[in-house]
Every structure is written in C-alpha cells, then in structure tokens.
Amino acid sequence: MVYDILSCQKYNYYIQKGIDLENVSPLEDFWLKNILSMVPCYLRSLNAPLELLVNEIREDYLLSIKTAILKYTFRDSRESDKDKVKDLPPHRLEVEVLPKPWNKSFVHARKRMRDNLHSINPTMLQVLYLWHVSYKDVRLIDVQEFHSREESMELSAFQQIVTRHVDNARGILFKNWIPEVQNIYYQGFRRKLVPARSNMAKLSSFFNCVAALMTSQLQSLAIDSMRDYTSLISQDPQSERAYEHSGFVLHLILEDREIKFEPDFKLYEEAFINVYEFMLRSISMVPRLETKLFPEWPGSQFGSTLKPIILPEILEAQQEEVRRVFWAECVKPKEYVHEYDKYAPLMCHVTLEGNWCTGGEFTTLGD
C-alpha cells in the first residue's frame, strides 16, 4: 500500500515538474475556437466564467500531453509486444514465428505475381477507367424502350426488338469499346508500359491479364443486363412501374369447336427464356486484344475470343423468376376463355384477339 502511494507521488511529480513545457505543443487557437463554437451564445456572453473554463481547458490539455509523454517514456516494450501477440487472431499467430520458414516461398510467389499479374500497370488502370466512365451503363437490352411503348406487342415484334437491342450493344462493343482499348495499348507501347515483343513469355502473361480484365467487364455487362431484363418481366404488382409494360398480343382462334391461344404459351415461355442465351452468346464472340493488335499472333491456349462465364446458378435463378411470373400471368387469359362457354353452340370459326398484360389483366380487342 505504501509502495503504491509512493509510486503515485513520483508519477505526479514527474508530470508536474519533470517535463519541460518548451517541448510541448500548445493548444491550437482554431481548436479552441471550434470548442467555443459549440457553446450557446448566451453563455459565451458571461466573460468571467468563460475565461475560467478556457484556462481549465488549456491546463487539461497540457496535463494530458505530459501524461502521454510520461507513459510513452516509461512504457515496457516487452509487455506491449506480448499484448500485441495476444491480440492477434489464431490464423495470424504464424506470422510472428521467427525465423519464418515460409519466407523463401513467399518472396518467390510475390516476385511471380509482380512479374505476371501486371496489376499496377498504368494501362490496366486506364482500361478500368474507360469502362466505368463510358460503358458501365451500356446494356444488351434497353428496357426503357419497352416501358415507353403504348401499344401491345406481337411475340415476333418483341423478338425483333430484342435482336435489335443486342445487335446495337454488340456494335458499341466492337466499334467503340475495343478500338478505344486498342488505342490505350498502342499508347502503352510507345511509352514502354507494355512488355517488349522480344520477351514473349512476359508479353503473353500481360495479354492474359488484359483478357481477364476485359472478361470481368463483359461479365458485369451480362449480369446487369440479365437483371434488368428479369425486372422488366417480373415487376412488383404494388410498384408504380408494374403496369408500364404495354403487354403482348394473344390471338384466340376457334379450332374444332375449341378456343386456343396463338401463339401458344409454350412459345412465349421459350422466347422469353431464350433471351438469356442470346445475350450470353452475343458477348462470347469478343476477340482478345492481342489478336487485334498483332494479326500474326500465334494461337493462344485460351483461344482467340474472350470467355465471360456466368455461373449456372445465376442464370437459372433469373430464368426461374421469369418462368414463375410468366405462368402466374397466364392464369387470367385462361380464365377469360370461359367467358365464351355460354356461346359454345353459336361458335363457328370465329377469330378473337386479346391484349395480355404483365399486370395480370386480359381484355379482348375484337371478335
């Protein structure tokens, strides 16, 4: 107990007398100004109490600084190192082992990654910048055109629009994006940022990295386009955009005294689902950059085109959502057909036409 009291007295003595204030940075005026700005105006008008509080702040500041200096000066470095090791998670404790048995393999792997991944090459950064500035909003299907339509579509018209959208997107990729990427690497050759052709192994690894980067960008384009298309078909019935889609035209024909739909629902389902495959095929024909820069480039083990990969579970989830919504929307047209049951004796080769909307409504256009 006596030892603790003496230790506290020595500690306080060092704080009060043992530290020269010449080496202590004073309280900055703008710090004090910021502190006082939080005090209400009617309290700042009390000059005497305010001056006492300012002096107390300055004293507390100096006391805190001297205490921190004292703790740093008399700290036990061994104890702090032990505490640091204890705070490490179990999977990081192996890093503290000395000597490090894995150091040689670590240095070798780091060198290989630095030589082969080219992750800090300025041309890679420019390709990333180009995509996120100019092409991140490009989509294989422009859903806004469907939202802005006022007339219902035939299935064939829908397929033609989808084909036109995908062709336009491919044109942007082939006529704009790829030439701009080529230009970046032309400039990189001039500035000697691309490995020389004399070192084919390093140049091949460089273009493999370019292909990986461009493939990743195509994958993001495909995933975003798939999600937009799914959202076009699968709208929340409670949302404001649920009825923006103009819907599709269904023809009702009388065949052998039975009313049938034309086109058949299976054809609609197949057309809607095939859009995903069509989008994925369109981005799987983009050439690798080296085949555009060097027509005489020897064949690569990875082929001459980029190969963006969309995981099957992602594709299946999008397709399944469209199927679910599609068959749920088919209920209304099937129910409407029963409206003609009472006219069954009078029916004789009558052609009916209906408007099938994605909001769950079905109305006839004529009979």
Cα torsion 307, 311, 316, 319: sign: negative
Are 33 and 181 members of one domain? no
Are 134 and 210 members of one domain? yes
Is the pLDDT score of 43 beyond 60? yes
Residue 249 lies in a domain: no
Assigned token pair, 168: 């336009």
Give the residue with greater pLDDT, 66 vs 157.
157
φ, ψ of residue 241 to 5 degrees: the values are -95, 5
Q: Cα separation of 94 and 100, whole Å?
A: 9
* Residue at which a domain ends, from 46, 76, 93: 93
At 243-273, the pLDDT tens digits run: 556 678 888 887 777 788 888 888 889 999 9
Q: How many CA atoms lie within 13 A of 339 on its CB side?
A: 13
How many domains would you assign to the chain?
A: 2
Cα torsion 285, 290, 294, 297: sign: negative
Residue 69 lies in a domain: yes
Is the pLDDT score of 162 beyond 70? yes
At 11-36, the pLDDT tens digits run: 677 777 667 667 677 788 888 888 88
Residue 315 lies in a domain: yes
* Residue at which a domain ends, from 67, 93, 119: 93
- Reported for 194-200, long-range contacts at CB under 8 A and 24+ positions apart, including other chains, are 194/123
* Residue at which a domain ends, from 322, 347, 362: 322
pTM across the whole model: 0.62
Cβ-Cβ contacts under 8 Å for 360 (sequence gap 6 or more)? 237, 328, 329, 331, 332
Are 180 and 67 members of one domain? no
Q: What is the CA radius of gyration of the chain?
A: 36
Is the pLDDT score of 208 beyond 70? yes
Helix (H) or strand (E) holding 365: strand 362-366
Q: Cα separation of 143 and 147, whole Å?
A: 6
Are 77 and 223 members of one domain? no
Residue 330 lies in a domain: no
Are 73 and 215 members of one domain? no
Across the range 328-339, mean pLDDT stands at 81
Residue 259 lies in a domain: no
DSSP string, 269-305: HHHHHHHHHHHHHHHTTPBPHHHHH-TTPPPPTT-SB
Are 143 and 287 members of one domain? yes
> 287 is in which domain, residue-wise?
128-243+269-322
Cβ-Cβ contacts under 8 Å for 139 (sequence gap 6 or more)? 165, 169, 221, 224, 225, 228
Residue 189 lies in a domain: yes
DSSP string, 90-148: GGGGGGG-SS-TTHHHHHHHHHHHHHHH-TT-HHHHHHHHHIIIIITT--SS-HHHHHH
